[in-house]
Amino acid sequence: MRPLRGVPLNEKSPLTDTPAWRALLAHHKTASTLHMVELFNKDPQRFKRYSLTFEDILFDYSKNRITDETLSLLFDLTRQAKVEDLRDRMFSGEKINNTEGRAVLHTALRNRSNQPVFVDDENVMPKINAELEKMRGFSDKVRSGQWIGYAGLPITHIVNIGIGGSDLGPSMICRALQPYAHHSLTVDFVSNIDASHIDQILIKLRPETTLFVISSKTFTTQETITNANTAKAWFLNGAGRVTHNDISKHFVAVSTNETAVKQFGIDPQNMFRFWDWVGGRYSLWSAIGLSSVLYLGMDNFIALLEGAHAMDQHFCNEPLETNIPVILAMLGVWYGNFFGAESSAVLPYDHNLRLLPAYLEQADMESNGKSVDKKGRQINYSTGKIIWGAEGINGQHAFYQLLHQGTRLIPTDFIASVNSHQCNPTHCSILASNFLAQTEALMRGRTLEETREQLAAADIELHKAEKRLPHMTFQGNQPSNSIVLKKLTPRTLGSLIAMYEHKIFVQGAVWNLNSYDQWGVELGKNLTKKILEEIETNKNLHQHDSSTQGLLDWFRTHRTEEVKNNIE
C-alpha cells in the first residue's frame, strides 16, 4: 500500500473533535430534513432576515437550508477556528503562508487608506504606490498615443502573455469591464502552449502597432516563456526593418524576477514589479493588472482597487453575523462538510461576467484543494469543493437539468446585475426573470400534487399524466445565494472579487490548511520536463507505467507520420 499523504493524525482532530463541530453534526440531523418552502412559509420575514446589502450589492442567502440555529453554530465554528485572529495576522503582514515562509498581502495592493503595512520591518506601501504611479504613467502614454512603436505608429493592440493567475484575473476584468475600455485599443490573452492559441491571435495583428505584456510572477513558466519567445520571433521576423532595440517599444514585462526578465531581453525600465508576498492567483491587483490598466485606464483600475478595499474593510470590521464573506464561506462549509456536497456552481446572469467562473476555479481550488493541514497532518474531513460554472442563461439550456432533478446537492451562487451597460429593456427584463425564476424553482421544486394539477389543466389524458408524474416533479430544496449588483462597475467588480477571496480565506482557516501555497502543481511540471526530453530526443530515458509509455509511443509514432506526410 502507498503511504498516506501527510503525517497521520494520531491526536484528536482540531476541527472535527470539537464541541462546535459535534453540535453542527447533531443539528444537521434535523436541519437536513427541513424543506426551504416550509421555512419560507413559516417566516414571512425570511428574506429580510437573511439578506444583506453592501454598497451597491445585495447578498440574499435566504434560499439556504439554514435556520438561526444553523447560523449560530456555524459562527461558533468560525470563532473556534480563530478565523478573525488569522485574518488580522494576514492583513498585518505576518507570514501566514507557512510552507513558503511568506506574507499574504494582496490586500495591501488595494490598501487605499495607505495605512502602513509591514513585511520584515519594511512598510510596503511606498513601493506599491510607486508601482501604481509607474503603471499610470505608462498606460497614459499608450492610451493617449504618445507611446510610439518602431514604425512611428501608436499602439492599438495589447497582447497579454501569461497563464493561471497571470491570465485569468486580467482577462476576466477586461471582459467584465469592456464597456469602460479605450475605444481604439483591443486586448487579447494568450495562455495556452498549443500554438493554435497564439497563432490565431497574431494573425490578426500588425507588429508595428502591437504591445506585448509578458506577465509571469516567476518568469520561468514554460508556457509563458515559450509563447513570449514565439511572439518575439514573430515581431523580429515579421516587422521588416526592426532591430533588437525596437523590442523595448513593443515588449514589457510584469514579474517579481528581474534577472529572468533581463535574460529574456526586456529592459528592466520596461519591467513592472510585484513581490513574493502576492500569490499568483491573488495578483490581479498588482502590476499583473497592467493589461487591464492599458485597456480600461488607470482611473478605472483604481476604482476596482477601491471596491476591493471597501470589501476588505467590511471583512475586517463587520461582526461575523453580518459579514458577507464569512456567511458565504460558512454556508459552503455547511454543505461541503455536513451535507457532503462535492461541488458548487457560480452562475453569472451578466454576459460580461462570463469569465468569472474560470477565475474562481483557480482562486478557490488552487487555494483550498489540500489534504494536509498547516502542520502537514493528514486531514479527516473534506476541504475545497469543486468550483464550476458558466453563464446562467446558457446553462439553463444545458446542465440545469441536473441541478433541478439530479441526485446531487449542488449549492449555487447566482450573480446578476440589475442594470446592464447594454440597455435594451426587453433583453434586461427577460434576463432578470430567468435569474429570479431559476432560484425560485430550485428552492420550491414542484410537488406531485402541483404537477398533477398542471397536467390536468393541460388536458393530458389521466393514464398518460400518471406515468409522467414522477418525471415531472421537482424535489426542490436546492440552495442558492443571489448576489445582485446595481450595475457591474469597476468598484462593484472589485468588491465582488474581494468577497470571494475572503470567502476562500475563511474556509481555508476553518479547515486549518494553508490556502496560499500550491505544491500540487509541481509534480506534473517535473514530469513534463522528463517527457519533453523523451519526445525531443525520440529516446526512452525514463521509467513509466505501461499506460504512459504506451501513450508516448503512440504519440511519437503518429507524430512522425504527420511530419513525414508534411514533408512529402
Residues that bind ligand F6P (CB under 6 A): 163-166, 216-218, 221, 224, 280-281, 366, 518, 521
Integer angstrom CA distances of residue 223 from 169, 198, 259, 266, 423:
17, 11, 19, 18, 40
| Nearest distance, CB of residue 30 and ligand F6P, angstroms | 42
Q: Is 148 helix (H, G, I), strand (E, B) or coil?
A: strand
Contact 176, 355 (CB under 8 A): yes
Concatenated DSSP letters of 427-443? HHHHHHHHHHHHHHHHH
C-alpha cell at 186: 483591443
CA 420-422-328 angle, 5° bins: 25
Collapsing DSSP to helix, strand or coil, 64 comes out as coil
State the nearest-atom distance from the C-beta of 162 to ligand F6P, in Å: 6
**Phi and psi at residue 190, to the nearest 5°:** -110, 125
We find the least distance from the C-beta atom of residue 219 to ligand F6P, in angstroms, to be: 7
Q: Which is nearer to ligand F6P, 519 or 555 (CB)?
A: 519
Q: How many CA atoms lie within 13 A of 277 on its CB side?
A: 23
Q: How far is the CB of 324 from ligand F6P (least distance, A)?
A: 26
Active site residue 366: yes
Of 397, 463, 464, 471, the catalytic one is: 397
Nearer to ligand F6P, 326 or 497 (CB): 497
For this structure, is 397 an active site residue?
A: yes
* Residue of 84, 366, 391, 501 with catalytic role: 366
Looking at beta carbons only, is 166 or 337 nearer to ligand F6P? Answer: 166
Our CB check for ligand F6P shows the closer of 162 and 348 to be 162
Residue 239 to residues 142, 160, 430, 552, Cα–Cα distance (Å):
20, 19, 49, 38
Q: Which is nearer to ligand F6P, 77 or 287 (CB)?
A: 287
3-state secondary structure of 184: coil
CB of 435 to ligand F6P, least distance (A): 31
Residue nearer to ligand F6P on the CB measure, 9 or 163: 163
Q: Which is nearer to ligand F6P, 216 or 412 (CB)?
A: 216
How far apart, in Å, do the first and last CA atoms of the chain sit?
Answer: 51
Residue with cell 461582526: 319
Note whether 526 and 546 are within 8 A (CB). no
Q: Output the smallest distance, CB 160 to ligand F6P, in A.
A: 11
Cell of 376: 502537514
CB of 140 to ligand F6P, least distance (A): 26
Residue 141 among the catalytic residues: no
Q: How far is CA 311 from CA 280, 317, 320, 442, 464, in A?
A: 20, 10, 14, 29, 54
Strand order in the sheet with 186-190: 186-190, 157-161, 210-215, 251-255, 271-273
Which of the residues 204, 375, 467, 525 is marked catalytic?
525
The nearest distance, CB 100 to ligand F6P, in angstroms, is: 12
Given a contact cutoff of 8 angstroms between Cβ atoms, the answer to whether 221 and 257 are in contact is no
Nearer to ligand F6P, 386 or 428 (CB): 386
Q: CA–CA separation, 294 vs 134, rounded Å?
A: 12
Q: What single string gives the DSSP state of each residue in 219-234?
A: S--HHHHHHHHHHHHH
Residues designated catalytic = 366, 397, 525
